[in-house]
Structure 1
Amino acid sequence: MGNIANTYYPQSGRLVVLGAGESGVGTAILGKDKGFDVFVSDLGTIADNYKKSLDEEGIAYESGQHTEDLILNADIIVKSPGIPEKAPLIKKLRSLNIPVISEIEFAAQYTDAKLICITGSNGKTTTTMLTYYMLKNGGLNVGLAGNVGKSFALQVARENYDVYVLEISSFMLDDMYHFRADVAVILNITPDHLDRYDYKMENYVNSKFRMIQNQRSEDYFIYCLDDEETMKALPRFEVKAQQLPMTQDSKVEYGAYLDENKNIKINIPNRDEFEMNIEELSLQGRHNVYNNMASGLIAKVQELRNQSMKESMGSYVNVEHRLEHVAIIGGVNYVNDSKATNVNSVWYALESFSTKIVLLLGGVDKGNDYEMLRDLVRQKVKAIVCLGKDTARIHEAFEEDVEIIVNSSSMEDAVNIASHLAEKGDTVLLSPACASFDWFKNYEERGNKFKEAVMAL
């Protein structure tokens, strides 16, 4: 049964799901289908569409509170990745030895589908979506889940896919123990969410490497030879899977590399070689070469034809809120990169443009170190428009590198200011490096407000 070799968890009894978002409601439905007595508890308010699903399925739930009497009697708990390990309720559950696991861990028990799992500090959404697009175009019966798409658990319950492409965050990995990835991908590791890892980089790295736990010799592990943190950590872990490295700086026998003519070369044992020039890729920029290499390696593992891979890599359109072209107004290019919630994502964004940039930056700072941006900011950014309540750190970080740094009072205000600062041929780039929770519900709302403000110019 499924990708968890033996079933380590209760297969009946009381299942309590903490958090009633996409993953929580999907878990509840799968649990109900498998015969559990299911209860869902959310400390916040539950969105109407999720309430409707729970009502239709006849699943008991509460919102605005966690009633301990209804939770501590669970046989198994599935928690939302957003709930930290330090939360008092989680500590209490751990002390009672009640298994607390993630949706992915729970649902993997009930599927025999191949699981392709992608993590990394940056590029994981793009790589996941590109891989899904390639496999679908290649004729595979494939589902998309994890951080993107519909709940994995819900699809396991109600759909029938042969392969899943899963975008996996470190928070999900923290609650995964026996789960096994048929193909595990670690794109890169850069400081992010360190507040959840006691501000220790090693803890965050260890979390990412949970991706390869339980892999076997017939599985594959794709990683980046050029990524410093990955390579530093690799010797600490036992890798049983077949290793497929990717690199733009050297040559490898098996894996993916860039040759002297800027062709991506992909070689996997017992498969024909794949080659494609980076000029032909629909996604441009150095970071997107890695994303294409990772997706290309996965496609080769799944035995896709070269022609089909080329067509997909040449026609894929990027996801919303990730370097999304909004409009050209008065010769100025407006780009929505609201999904860039960490410094490294902003580095990738800046690296993608050859024009002068007016940068919209700021929000809820997660302890960002802006040092790595300074060179690129100096070279490319002519002005910074600060978003959010807390802008002091941005001023401090860049006051010597950028002539103009101004605060704004709303997204509309920020876009208006940026439009006056930008000249013909420039790019106005929303790439905030921060979470959005001070002015907006989430990065999607922030990106949509940016697009509305641009269209209103």
Structure 2
Amino acid sequence: MAGASRVVILGAGESGVGAAKLAKQKGFDVFVSDYGVITDKYKAALEKLGVAFESERHTEALILNATEVIKSPGIPATAPIIKKLIAKGTSVISEIEFAKRYTNAKTVCITGSNGKSTTSLLTYHILKNAGVNVGLAGNIGQSFAAQVADGEFDWYVLEISSFMLDDMFQFKADIAVLLNITPDHLDRYNYKLENYAASKMRIIQNQTAADVFIYCADDEESLKALKGLSPMAKTYPFSIVKKIEIGAYLQDDTIHIHTEPNNELTMSISDLALQGKHNIYNSMASGIVAKVLELRNETIRESMGNFKNIEHRLEHVAKISGIDFINDSKATNVNSTWYALESMTSDVVLIMGGVDKGNDYNMLKDLIKSKVKAIVCLGKDNKRIHDAFEDDVEVIVNTFSADEATQIAFHLAKRGDAVLLSPACASFDLFKNYEDRGNQFKAAVKEL
């Protein structure tokens, strides 16, 4: 390959810099271009690799001569530079697709509108504790390509977003997990749920009879998307409402997992580290993966019982004057906020708002009526939240900083209530990202 093929990488974040590292190692002529500002950390990494790069622009002459382009999942197919590349017939792929060419490791690929980070981390936790030589990558942690460049794992747990799936072609998941399909990112899919669902179903493309597909039998949109598709892989559904012969189901507050007729794992839901209905699903999905890999029941139970969930996902921050403060900043869509409210057992003062991605707030109405006493809006434009819920709650207040939102929520709550930051929106109007939003909320709580 040396000196011959030119690989251009668009986007210099974790995935882009990882792809640059692997491409350089494989002898490609590599160039990285980011339309935004490249952070100092990633600039230093590119300089160390000796890779040419540009920041805050896309110079067409340096991009359109690429043999292949690896693009960041955040860049839509409608971006002018991508349209020009596609018109030229240039191959445009994801970092995941690129990295998979250079590894013989097997992959557990987890997708879904909600719960994929939690399920990916739980699955990784179970495998690692069982002694599997496993890496964690994709939408989470360190770049897949960088890990492939640095060394070898036998397995990778990959959290895969629909945007990544859109740029995957030859890639195959050895074990594919689809948790659910709910409206999210519809601005990238012409506001059509079926387009988004079709994207999610790419998780099973290229699978063979030797592979595994795990999905939620209770999720209507998943079942709808599966109609007309015949998965080649061995399928394992999971359900909390009906008995499943081969797969997982819930009966009398106990999870039952069968991956073959006479080999059962049972676990009481009260022993699960992750509580709430949605987390029963996440635990079932991870448990099926573990059973498919023939890990010991004791090991699986132990890991499912001692797992610590991720920051910014229903994270308990503090209890002040008898009021619980919960950081669910990672809830960037309506469905995530629905899950958060569904798992609440006390009255809630809800902090929500931000950049609305064409949200349909209707699904929250019943939970907001029954559980939420006040809404504190945190965002530049809160009109749609007011319109959606003005008949359902007594108080809706506008705020423009995490400090202000936290203080007002504290005053509106009383002993025994919970203050829940679960925005249902992206964070880019007031914050760098959802982590920044969550960290500012946590800092504000500690100042109370």
TM over 0.5: yes
Q: How does 1:311-322 map to 2 (within 5 A)?
A: 311-322=302-313
Does the aligned pair in 2 maintain the 1:360–1:428 contact within 8 Å?
yes
The answer to whether residue 270 in structure 2 is matched with residue 272 in structure 1 is: no
Whole-Å separation in 1 of the counterparts to 2:446 and 2:309: 20
Q: CA deviation at 1:174?
A: 0.3
Q: Residues 167 and 10 from structure 1, CA distance in 2 versus in 1: closer, same or farther, beyond 3 angstroms? A: farther
- 1:90 pairs, out of 82, 86, 103, with 82
Would the alpha carbon gap of residues 56 and 283 (structure 1) be closer, same or farther in structure 2, given more than 3 Å must change? same
Aligned to 2:439: 448
Judged with a 3 Å threshold, the aligned counterparts in structure 2 of structure 1 residues 410 and 30 are, in CA distance, closer, same or farther, namely same
Cα offset, 1:388, TM superposition: 0.7
Q: 1:181 aligns with which of 173, 176, 190?
A: 173
Matched residue, 2:16: 24
Task: State whether residues 355 and 427 of structure 2, in contact with CA within 8 Å, keep that contact through their aligned partners in structure 1.
Answer: yes
Q: How far apart in 2 are the matches of 1:302 and 1:11? A: 42
Aligned residue for 1:214?
206
For residue 271 of structure 2, what is the amino acid of its counterpart? E
Q: CA deviation at 1:12?
A: 5.4
Q: Could you tell me which residue of structure 2 aligns to residue 201 of structure 1?
A: 193
Shift of residue 252, structure 1, vs aligned partner: 1.0
Indicate if the aligned counterparts of 2:327 and 2:420 stay in contact, CA closer than 8 A: yes
2:114 to 115, 118, 122: 122
Instruction: Quote the RMSD (CA, aligned, Å).
Output: 1.2
Query: Equivalents in 1 of 2:266, 2:104: separation in Å?
Result: 32
Look up the match of 2:184: 192
Once residues 41 and 310 of structure 2 are traced to their aligned partners in structure 1, the CA distance between those partners, rounded to angstroms, is 23
Q: Are 2:146 and 1:154 aligned? A: yes
Counterpart position of 2:226: 234
The offset of 1:270, in angstroms, is 6.8
- The answer to whether the 8 A contact 1:271-1:300 is kept is no
Q: 1:453 to 1:444 in 2, by over 3 A?
A: same
- Alignment partner, residue 397 of structure 1: 388
| Counterpart AA for 2:53 | Y
Q: Which moved more, 1:267-276 or 1:234-243?
A: 267-276
Match of 2:402 in 1: 411
Residue-by-residue CA offset, 1:163-189 (whole Å, 9 max, x unaligned): 000000000000001100000011000
After superposition, residues 38-53 of structure 1 pair within 5 angstroms as 38-53=30-45
**Separation of aligned partners in 1, 2:313 and 2:154:** 28
Distance in 1 between residues matched to 2:261 and 2:160, nearest whole Å:
29
Identity of aligned residues (%): 63
Partner AA of 1:87 in structure 2? A
Question: By how many angstroms is 1:409 displaced?
Answer: 2.6
Separation in structure 2 between the aligned mates of residue 48 and residue 443 of structure 1, nearest angstrom: 20
Rate the CA distance shift 1:235–1:132 in 2: closer, same or farther, 3 A. Answer: same
| Paired residue secondary structure (1:264) | strand
Distance in 2 (CA, whole Å) between partners of 1:19 and 1:270 is 48
1:372 counterpart letter in structure 2: M
Q: Distance in 2 between matches of 1:141 and 1:11?
A: 34
- Which residue identity is paired with 2:318? A
Q: Which amino acid aligns with 1:97?
A: G
- Say yes or no: does 1:384 pair with 2:375: yes
Query: Is this contact kept in 2: 1:249–1:258, CA < 8 A?
Result: yes
Residue by residue over 1:279-315, the C-alpha shift from the partner in whole angstroms, topping out at 9 and shown as x without a partner, is 1101100000000000000111111100000111111
Q: Give 4+ residue runs of structure 1 displaced > 3 Å after superposition.
A: 9-12
SS in 2 for 1:438: coil
Code of the residue aligned with 2:299 in structure 1: it is: S
Among candidates 375, 388, 396, match of residue 366 of structure 2: 375
| Separation in structure 2 between the aligned mates of residue 75 and residue 317 of structure 1, nearest angstrom | 43
Counterpart selection for 1:134 from 126, 130, 133: 126
- Deviation of 1:411 after TM superposition, in Å, equals 0.9
Per the alignment, do residues 270 and 28 of structure 1 end up closer, same or farther by CA in structure 2, a change over 3 Å counting? farther
Alignment of 1:354-373 (within 5 A): 354-373=345-364
When residues 127 and 271 of structure 1 are mapped into structure 2, their CA distance, relative to the original with a 3 A threshold, is farther
Tell me whether 1:435 sits opposite 2:423 in the alignment. Answer: no
Alpha-carbon shift at residue 232 of structure 1 (Å): 1.2
Deviations 1:360-395 (A, max 9, x none): 010011110000000000010000000111101001
Match of 1:163 among 155, 162, 175: 155
Structure 1 residue ranges without an equivalent (≥5) = 1-8
- What code does the residue aligned with 1:176 have? M
Contact 2:139 2:159 in 1 (8 A): yes
**Contact 1:10 1:76 (C-alpha < 8 Å) held by counterparts:** no
Deviation, 1:159, is: 2.1
2:137 paired residue number: 145
CA distance in 1, matches of 2:229, 2:28: 36
Provide Cα deviations, 1:1-37, integer angstroms capped at 9, x if missing partner: xxxxxxxx99951000000000000000100001100
Equivalenced residues, count: 448
